Structure 1
Amino acid sequence: MVLQQQPARAVIWGYGEPGAQVIVSLRRESETITKTAGITISKCPQSVWKVLLPPMVYGGPYHLVAEQVTEKVTSIQLEDVLFGDVWLCSGQSNMEMTVLQIFNASGELKMASDYPYVRLFTAALEQSATELQDLSKVDLPWSLPTAENLGHGDFTYFSAVCWVFGRLLARKLKYPIGLVESSWGGTPVEAWSSKTALKECGLPSQTPRFPFFDTFAGPCDYSVLWNAMMHPLLNMTIKGAIWYQGEQNTGMNTNLYNCTFPALISDWRRSFHEGSLGQTDPTFPFGFVQLSTFQKSKQKDNYPVIRWHQTADYGYVPNSKMPNTFMAAAMDLGDEKSPYGSVHPRDKETVGYRLYLGARAIAYGEKDVPFQGPYPVRIDVYYEHRYMNITYDQQIILGGSYDNVFELYCSSASGEGYEWVPVPYSSLIVYAQSVAMSFGACRDVLGVRYAWDDWPCEYKRCPIYSIQKLPAPLFLRYFTH
């Protein structure tokens, strides 16, 4: 296993006899490095104990021995314990997809043995109506990465996104990385949220019935996965978390996602901080994947709405509602021929890489690491000349067709209300760091948006990228004149 390294202190916990003393020792070969007495929290019929280890420099391996002292001494010993950074990986089926299911699966599986200091753990699919203190089942106990563990089957273990993210971090940082996966396909954000988080967004603790509720792939009752698959992990000291979820909310509480997702992040941060006796950072870094694509034929459905809400309607992260977060845009990774359905694109190596860039910049504070594509910093509207200029925060390059990807919010032809009108290629001029467009037939323009479609472009061929080939995320801007 991997335990969290300094400056935080790892938490070791377990169950014992009420009133018994528990001592935890770290040993390296025959030498005892540290010995710490436990904090016993009385409960019947068992007591829960917690031990805070001293801050440890990355490395290992160590033996960890827990001894319970009553009339006799009983002990449990764990072998091959490393210290490094521990990352939690959660979400629905796109996080669940194993390495076996992705592009370059054979290459990734072959690479497994090159990363003996990455360690894997997967919680089993369980749900509960009440908060559990321990996982009721584990699919993959702490293990070395092997081809079998990384490609055990479809949507089982181990997560491809989590693996690629972790191995890239391990290669860059040159110390151990622990990856803890707890994910379940076809599940909404509400299932992973505590009652406290749901209350923040005005949601009841009891789940209402939705018209299509019984057709969901996974459990959708409020808090059932928080209770069974997240609450038992709260004692862990972790470095951060990554998340790939949102597809299920395109049909469930869609317009609340700009509240429920930031509320989940805040609540997880508070809960892990408290559960680890203050050792997990209360603002730990949180990365997420902005939704990829689903159906080419279904235009302007709730996928762009959820993508927008994933940023709390800012369009970028970090922002004031979502501090210390990072995002991997994925709307250019559509995979219409995926054997797992087009909602499950197979290019998870690019997703993991884009998350890795975000972690380097946000979680590890590397300067000058670009991790997000171009985003507008200024929009100038010249009504008298009937054109608009959009200035981006960085240099832009063209990746593919940009016909009709920009849209203007115009007065309708009938003069009754407003409508979104696509901007044709012929009305656009692209510069090094800006895009200019004429209004064309539009009257009284009050808004502009970009890539507001379920499937806005072909594979890696969206219109606008950074010079590092990171796609510009979608945006929406209203204005008055």
Structure 2
Amino acid sequence: MKKIILLLTILLSFAVNAQIKLPRLISDGMILQRDTKVKIWGWASPKEKIQLDFNHKTYKAETNAEGKWTIVLPSQKAGGPYEMTLKGNSTIVLKNILFGDVWVCSGQSNMELPMDRLKDKYKEVIAKAENPNIRQFLVPDQYYFTNEKEDFTSGEWVSANPVSVLQFSGVAYFFALEIYEKYKIPIGLINSALGGSPAESWISEKSVKKFPDYYQEYLKYKDGKLEVQIDQNDKKVSNDWYKLANNTDLGLKNNWSNPEFNDINWKTMNVPGYWADNQLGNVNGVVWFRKEFSIPKVKENTAKLILGRIVDADSVYVNGQFVGTTSYQYPPRIYSFNANILKEGKNEIAVRIINNSGKGGFVLDKPYELVLGKDTLDLKGSWKYELGAKMLPLPGQTFVRWKPVGLYNAMIAPLKNYSIKGVLWYQGESSTKKPSEYFSLMETLITNWRTQWQQPKLPFLVVQLTNFMDPKTEPVESNWAALRQQQLNTLAIPNTGLAVTIDLGEWNDIHPLNKYDVGKRLSLQARKKVYGEKDLVASGPLFKAMEQKGNKLILSFTDTGSGLLAKDNTSLKGFAIANNDGKFVWANATIEGDKIVVWNDTISNPSKVRYAWADNPVEANLYNKENLPASPFESDLSKKK
């Protein structure tokens, strides 16, 4: 009996091993790169003969000793749909295949941000998103240090429709819309991005050796042991913290979400705002907020509660009924619920906020309102609040997933056999701690990826950081500005482009909602630098050179288009100059033809200039007549002598 079981096990094992296995990318609905040779690859039994039938032709291969095989298809024109049949000891039929242009869309959260987060802003776009020629492959968010992965654990090609598009990258989708509208070529988007990731996490082991500190950090994680220890410890610390917060929360014990609860002795503060700026002070833990409001008889079936953004996590109740929760600070709080919960006259909202570090509360300059059909009730103003549980700050996590090499191994390496048109890159917020190294990191990353794809001229289109955080009234140093300069410097690398977005940000949100213009500006770069529209104005003014004449600096630019202008017909703003001492002051600026003259009567021998040099340079207003903004920059005559 044991021999029979053993024999069946061996035969079953052989049968399983004999099956042709394809990588996740090679699947139904895939978009393959047009006008170039493309690889179809996979696994089967060692020395198994593989036959591929496609477009009335047959291609053959044999697996190697490891069971790997590759077939190279000749260049194909854009079009489809096609079918592809693979035969070995088993048969696979792939359907609905298109040839078009494939773009890898990578970086951090602003590239990852899905259309679902933008659904209130772009309702009409989403409703019309029925296009089988725009497809996305969503790479799973994973990291791995030991070696380069050969495949993904999940993922499939999905065509755009009003439901599926909610999971598409917003930036990538708007880019694809623009390109498809212009050329009517199928567009495949490989969405391989992860929130919070620094550039070094997307570089291979071999390439990261150029940066000794990052390489040594990577080696600590290569065997996987430290990763497991840290993850276990972080989870325990976090679980213990939240367990203690929940167990000691007076609001949960005394049912502060109950609309009949007597909160007469609670303190009050204005919402939006932070309790650290009020009587409670800078404490962490659980704080409850309550607000009473009155409405006429409810005629709608659905209500929507908009609570801006909240730091950090919240649970929301209306008249004692739970209507929604969000576990971290970045997503907008938009909670739809059955309007039957509401009643004519008095109603009560209760919000339980858990803040684990920093200042907790309601983010300023965001909407706080109740929407009933066409009617909107403003909820800003006085709210009552009470401390539910006071906690020590939650210790910071290690975030192993952002360590060097890990994302490259898991989210980029499995792509290397898949032919692509180019790369869209939106990253940098997490690299602002060390802006001076960013150009070197990006030069290394771009070279690394071009080597991986065996495309020395692979187009690489970069989104420059938007404006963010509090504006400043005087010239200041800024890591965000310094990183934008490094991003501008990447244009020295051949076949790169830069989408300037210095006017598309929100001071209070690291994830601004205007992703349409980001995608459109990337598409302009692609149209000019990849698709060959040489006469297209694809960028705002880019600083070229300057010269000194007396107490003035004369600046020249490329990409001036039909001419330079100060937006809204006001005087030029955002320029600052300095002597060699580096003490910058605001400068007067005027447009003289295709040049700009800057000066300040207190600076007799200017040698340094900056434009839009701040985290959030709200007054910078240099554009070309095509309504594209100038890139922030700095320059120093003394360094060129």
Q: Same fold (TM over 0.5)?
A: yes
Q: Alignment identity in percent? A: 29
Q: Considering only CA atoms, is the larger Rg found in Structure 1 or Structure 2? A: 2
Decide whether the 8 Å contact of 1:187 with 1:218 is kept in 2: no
**The one of 142, 148, 164 aligned to 2:157:** 142
Q: Could you say which residue in structure 2 is the equivalent of 1:293?
A: 467
In the alignment, structure 1 residue 110 sits paired with structure 2 residue 127 = yes
Residues 132 and 392 of structure 1: CA distance in aligned 2, closer, same or farther (over 3 Å): closer
Q: Could you say which residue in structure 1 is the equivalent of 2:480?
A: 303
**The one of 192, 214, 225 aligned to 2:407:** 225
For 1:168-317, what aligned pairs fall within 5 Å after superposition? 168-207=178-217, 214-215=396-397, 219-251=401-433, 253-273=434-454, 281-297=455-471, 300-312=477-489, 317=491
SS of alignment partner, residue 266 of structure 1: helix
Decide whether the 8 Å contact of 2:48 with 2:62 is kept in 1: no
Q: Distance in 1 between matches of 2:622 and 2:397?
A: 37
- 1:232 is matched by which residue type in structure 2? P
Instruction: Name the count of aligned residue pairs.
Output: 429
SS of alignment partner, residue 112 of structure 1: coil
Residues 456 and 406 of structure 1: CA distance in aligned 2, closer, same or farther (over 3 Å): same
Residues 186 and 434 of structure 1: CA distance in aligned 2, closer, same or farther (over 3 Å): same
- 1:229 is matched by which residue type in structure 2? M
Q: Could you say which residue in structure 2 is the equivalent of 1:167?
A: 177
Q: CA deviation at 1:217?
A: 6.7
- 1:56 is matched by which residue type in structure 2? Q
Decide whether the 8 Å contact of 2:548 with 2:607 is kept in 1: no
Q: Could you say which residue in structure 2 is the equivalent of 1:336?
A: 507
**The one of 35, 39, 45 aligned to 2:58:** 35
Residues 187-196 or 214-223, more deviating = 214-223
Decide whether the 8 Å contact of 1:120 with 1:180 is kept in 2: yes
**1:84-124: CA deviation from partner (whole Å, max 9, x where unpaired):** 111110010000111122373212212210x2111111011
Q: Distance in 1 between matches of 2:52 and 2:215?
A: 39
In the alignment, structure 1 residue 396 sits paired with structure 2 residue 396 = no
Q: Distance in 2 between matches of 1:438 and 1:301?
A: 22
**The one of 111, 122, 142 aligned to 1:126:** 142
In the alignment, structure 1 residue 455 sits paired with structure 2 residue 616 = yes
Q: Could you say which residue in structure 1 is the equivalent of 2:87?
A: 67
In the alignment, structure 1 residue 366 sits paired with structure 2 residue 533 = yes
In the alignment, structure 1 residue 478 sits paired with structure 2 residue 636 = yes
Decide whether the 8 Å contact of 1:4 with 1:239 is kept in 2: no
Q: Distance in 2 between matches of 1:284 and 1:213?
A: 42
- 1:305 is matched by which residue type in structure 2? A
Decide whether the 8 Å contact of 1:387 with 1:437 is kept in 2: yes
Q: Distance in 2 between matches of 1:250 and 1:244?
A: 14
**1:446-466: CA deviation from partner (whole Å, max 9, x where unpaired):** 2111111111126xxx41111
SS of alignment partner, residue 7 of structure 1: coil
Residues 283-292 or 195-204, more deviating = 195-204
**1:61-105: CA deviation from partner (whole Å, max 9, x where unpaired):** 11111111xxxx311111100111111100100001111223732
Residues 302 and 410 of structure 1: CA distance in aligned 2, closer, same or farther (over 3 Å): same
Q: Name segments (4+ residues, structure 1) moved above 6 Å.
A: none
Q: Could you say which residue in structure 2 is the equivalent of 1:410?
A: 579
Q: CA deviation at 1:149?
A: 1.9
Residues 215-224 or 257-266, more deviating = 215-224
TM-score by length of 2: 0.64
Q: Could you say which residue in structure 2 is the equivalent of 1:353?
A: 520
Q: Could you say which residue in structure 2 is the equivalent of 1:9?
A: 37
Residues 457 and 448 of structure 1: CA distance in aligned 2, closer, same or farther (over 3 Å): same
Q: Distance in 2 between matches of 1:185 and 1:230?
A: 15
Q: CA deviation at 1:174?
A: 1.1
Q: CA deviation at 1:21?
A: 0.9
- 1:7 is matched by which residue type in structure 2? D
Q: Could you say which residue in structure 1 is the equivalent of 2:584?
A: 420
Decide whether the 8 Å contact of 1:26 with 1:65 is kept in 2: yes
- 1:420 is matched by which residue type in structure 2? F
Structure 1, unmatched stretches of 5+, are 28-32, 152-156, 274-280, 412-416
SS of alignment partner, residue 147 of structure 1: coil
TM-score by length of 1: 0.84
Decide whether the 8 Å contact of 1:186 with 1:218 is kept in 2: no
Q: Could you say which residue in structure 1 is the equivalent of 2:108?
A: 92
Q: Distance in 1 between matches of 2:125 and 2:399?
A: 28
Q: CA deviation at 1:336?
A: 3.3
Q: CA deviation at 1:204?
A: 4.1
Decide whether the 8 Å contact of 1:126 with 1:225 is kept in 2: yes
Residues 242 and 409 of structure 1: CA distance in aligned 2, closer, same or farther (over 3 Å): same
| RMSD, aligned CA | 2.3
Residues 439 and 216 of structure 1: CA distance in aligned 2, closer, same or farther (over 3 Å): farther
**1:335-388: CA deviation from partner (whole Å, max 9, x where unpaired):** 235xxxx111110000000000000111111120111111233423112xx222
**1:290-348: CA deviation from partner (whole Å, max 9, x where unpaired):** 01122125753211111111233x7xx2x2xx1001110011112235xxxx1111100
- 2:552 is matched by which residue type in structure 1? Y
SS of alignment partner, residue 392 of structure 1: strand
Q: CA deviation at 1:165?
A: 0.7
Q: Could you say which residue in structure 1 is the equivalent of 2:69?
A: 49
Structure 2, unmatched stretches of 5+, are 1-28, 221-393
Q: CA deviation at 1:403?
A: 6.6
Q: CA deviation at 1:148?
A: 2.2
In the alignment, structure 1 residue 444 sits paired with structure 2 residue 612 = no
- 1:336 is matched by which residue type in structure 2? W
Q: CA deviation at 1:282?
A: 2.4
Decide whether the 8 Å contact of 1:92 with 1:244 is kept in 2: yes
